[in-house]
Amino acid sequence: MSTKHPIIAVTGSSGAGTSTVKDAFEHVFLRESINPAVIEGDSFHRYNRAEMKDAMAEAEGLGNMNFSHFGSDANLFSELEGLFKTYGETGGGKRRLYLHSEEEAEPYEGLIPGQFTPWQDIPSGTDLMFYEGLHGCVVSEEINMAQYVDLKIGVVPVINLEWIQKIHRDTSQRGYSEEAVMDTILRRMHDYVHYIIPQFKSTDINFQRVPIVDTSDPIIARDIPTPDESLVVIRFRDPDDFGVDFPYLLSMLHDSWMSRRNSIVVPGGKMGLAMELILTPIIRNMLNNKK
Amino acid sequence: MVRDAFAHMFRREKIIPALVEGESFHRYSRSDMKQAMQESLDAGNPHFSHFGPDANLFGDLEELFESYGENGTGKTRHYLHNEADAARYNSPDMKPGEFTEWQDLPSGTDMLFYEGLHGCAISDGVNLARHVDLKIGLVPVINLEWIQKIHRDIGERGYSEDDVVDTILRRMHDYVHYLIPQFANTDINFQMVPVVDTSDPTFARNVPTLDECVVVIRFCDPEGMEIDFPLLLDKIKNSKMSRRNSIVVPGGKLGQAIELIMTPIFRRLMDGRG
């Protein structure tokens, strides 16, 4: 935790609404003239794309059928923890980029998609750190990321929706068979349960997307539920901590309602608006405390 | 509540059902199951579970469905959950975890009502779904399913959280391959969906109450089933359509929704017998 160099971590799987979150934060940063140090979770993968394939084959050879990007073996947890610690203390630290596509790799001579850029110092003079990835709040026997993060946000769909999204993306955009995707989902399940899920109990705010169309067989669901076909459950660990003004939110977010003393439900299409309404005062407060 | 809703309908419509419980078609008694699980672990199969075909008598269940469809007869048995069951089925010399002998279904029943995990299973030469005239899926979202299991096994059965999570992971393979595909085949699905945070199912302190859920009801063929959506929307307060074949109702209205939807369908099934 650092008043001077605060860290915001958005934890959740890609496609879980993280792009809505990213947009909402970008809007807030722009409006409030905040200069963030952005960290992408996949830059802390341990292996590049080619190495990951080898590492997975090797793990399988050794009888480990659960090797995945969700777990500790495939990620640089202690480096990420170190970055959080250093940034909180000094506002500095080292980061790199994972190059997803040709387009991203273009400016880097000699690098191809699936590789990392060299480690570089974070530019000086940033106002806060913004992490977005799978592991912003990992707490295990060796690692404690959560202790360095000032605002912990979970973005996570119900499991049925997470599977639907993955099956759609991997079959339609990446050409995998349904069976291959399902095998991947099962292979990752052990790490999902042991590394991803436990983070959502220490987060300050969770945004959980919940479809209100039938998802009982995620494998045959023909369409990804649209925002209009879902609700978002927003839970605050401690609403008093953040001075959350529920009556205000209820009046600003049409058709929203409280489902528990610390939880509000909003229509899926209102997720971005809800985030901006909730996050703006919290981030403003963070920056005021810096001064 | 679901069981009550069906019992109410059977009574009101004067339908005499032949009730069949899914557990009667487990392959192993409680102690045999333990042994079978250990043996399969030793043989390198970590996925043995009550969800899959190895631990169930799918063939016998199919035989029952087929013979009931043809002539209203067939054989079933009871699984004894506890001492009370043993007394109820006049099996005082049998222990909880064992089965009664196979028995003929009572004669003169109006329909067979199966409730269990595998009513629409299709696998390895078995096709239960084709014998079933009305296929109903009843399934919570996975997060809620885990929360319910974790609470039950820790709270009522004294297991540790780690044990329960291991069991959930062990069964996941069969869950995906044998349970889930059934819901693509059902005529009507009722899916319970919490509207409270379930993102860490192992941590949720309370099982979401009915008031903290909505139920998504999806019809495979609403026209063919003559579903009267305006009537349902009118009678079930705070319900709404979420797709052309799907209606969402507050969790507390599940029983009412089942009775409203199923009564005319049951009547048509009975009328069809002539």
CATH at residue A76:
3.40.50.300
Interface mutation target, options B200, B218, B245, chain A, most CBs of A under 10 Å? B200
**Which class for B31: exposed (0-12), middle (13-18), buried (19 or more C-beta within 10 A)?**
exposed
Q: Which residue of B has its CA nearest to A16?
A: B199
A193 touches chain B (CB under 8 A): yes
Determine the pLDDT at residue A14: 63
Residue A285, token pair as written in the block? 């407060």
To which residue do tokens 């009547």 refer? B267
- pLDDT mean over A206-222: 90
Question: What phi, psi does B96 have (nearest 5°)?
Answer: -55, 140
SS3 B27: coil
C-alpha B22/C-alpha B119 separation (Å) is 8
Number of Cβ within 10 Å of residue A258's Cβ equals: 13
CB–CB contact B191 A218 (8 Å) = no
Which DSSP symbol is given to B274?
-
**CB atoms A214 and B218 under 8 Å:** yes
Answer whether residue B68 shows pLDDT above 90.
yes
- A208 and B137 in contact by Cβ < 8 A? no
Is the CB of A210 less than 8 angstroms away from the CB of B195? yes
pLDDT surpassing 70 at residue A15: no
Show Cβ contacts of residue B5 under 8 Å, excluding neighbours closer than 6 positions.
B254, B255, B258, B259, B262
Please give the full DSSP string across chain A, using - where no structure is assigned: --SSS-EEEEE--TTSSHHHHHHHHHHHHHHTT--EEEEEGGGGBSS-HHHHHHHHHHHHHTT-TT--TTSGGGB-HHHHHHHHHHHHHHS--EE--B--SHHHHTTSTT--TT-BPPPEEPPTT-SEEEEEES-TT-B-SS-B-GGG-SEEEEEEE-HHHHHHHHHHIIIIIS---HHHHHHHHHHHHHHIIIIIGGGGGT-SEEEEEEESS--SSTTT--SPPPGGGEEEEEEES-TTTTT--HHHHHHHSTT-EEEETTEEEEEGGGHHHHHHHHHHHHHHHHHHHH-
Task: Specify the CATH number of the domain B134-274.
Answer: 3.40.50.300
Question: Cα–Cα distance between A175 and A260 in angstroms, integer?
Answer: 42
Domain annotation covers residue A106? yes
Query: The CATH number of B14-118 is which of 3.40.50.150, 3.40.50.300, 3.20.20.70, 3.40.50.10490?
Result: 3.40.50.300
Angle at A268 between CA A267 and CA A270, to 5 degrees: 70
Structural tokens at position A13: 């799987």
Q: Note which residues in 47-106 of chain A have CB less than 8 A from chain B.
A: none
Does residue A2 fall inside a structural domain?
A: no
Q: Which of B181, B191, B196 sits opposite A260 (nearest CB)?
A: B196
At B13-29, the pLDDT tens digits run: 999 999 999 999 999 99
pLDDT at B274 over 80: no
Strand order in the sheet with B136-140: B136-140, B188-194, B213-219, B246-250, B240-243
More confident: B158 or B65: B65
DSSP run (H or E) holding B98 = none
Burial zone of B165 (CB within 10 Å; 0-12 exposed, 13-18 middle, 19+ buried) = buried
Task: Identify all chain A residues contacting B168, using CB atoms and an 8 Å cutoff.
Answer: 193
Question: What pLDDT band is residue B3 in, cutting at 50, 70 and 90?
Answer: confident
Question: Within an 8 Å CB–CB cutoff, is residue A231 touching chain B?
Answer: yes
Average pLDDT, integer, range A173-200: 93
- Is B242 close to A220, i.e. CB distance below 8 A? no
Q: Chain B: give the shortest CA distance to residue A1, in Å.
A: 23
Is a pLDDT exceeding 70 seen at residue A12?
A: yes
CA–CA dist B116, B103 (Å, integer): 19
Number of domains in chain A: 1
Residue A84 lies in a domain: yes
Nearest to A263 among B183, B196, B248 (CB): B196
Arithmetic mean of pLDDT over chain B: 93
Q: In this complex, which of B141, B242, B243 lies closest to A159 when CB atoms are compared?
A: B141
Query: Which residues on A lie below 8 Å from B216 (Cβ)?
Result: 211-215
pLDDT band at residue B87 using 50, 70 and 90 as cut-offs: confident
pLDDT tens, B94-109?
888 999 999 999 999 9
| Domain extents in chain B | 14-118, 134-274
Same fold for the domain at B14-118 and the one at B134-274? yes
A219 close to B (CB below 8 A): yes
Tell me the average pLDDT across B201-214: 87
Question: Of A241, A251, A235, nearest to A201 (Cα)?
Answer: A235
For testing contact with chain B, the best of A65, A200, A205, A216 (most B CBs within 10 A): A216
Q: Does the beta carbon of A17 lie under 8 angstroms from any beta carbon of chain B?
A: no
- Percentage of chain A beyond pLDDT 70 is 98
State the residue range of the domain holding A220.
7-290
What pTM value is reported for the model? 0.93
Q: At what angle do helices B254-271 and B2-12 cross, to 10 degrees?
A: 40
What's the whole-number mean pLDDT along residues B107-129? 94
**Considering only CB atoms, which residues of chain B are within 8 Å of chain A?**
137, 139, 141-143, 165, 168-169, 172-173, 176, 180-184, 189, 191, 193-203, 212, 214, 216, 218, 242-243, 246, 248
Q: By CA distance, what is B203's nearest residue in A?
A: A201
Give B274→chain A minimum CA distance, Å: 35
Instruction: Classify residue A170: in a domain, yes or no.
Output: yes
Q: Do A186 and B248 touch (CB under 8 A)?
A: no
Q: At B75, is the secondary structure helix, strand, or coil?
A: strand
Six token digits for residue B151: 């609470």
Q: pLDDT value at position B101?
A: 93
Q: Quick one: what percent of chain B has pLDDT higher than 70?
A: 99
pLDDT at A16 over 70: no
Residue A1 lies in a domain: no
Determine the residue of chain A that is closest to B214 in CA distance.
A212
- Name the phi and psi angles at A133, rounded to 5: 180, -160
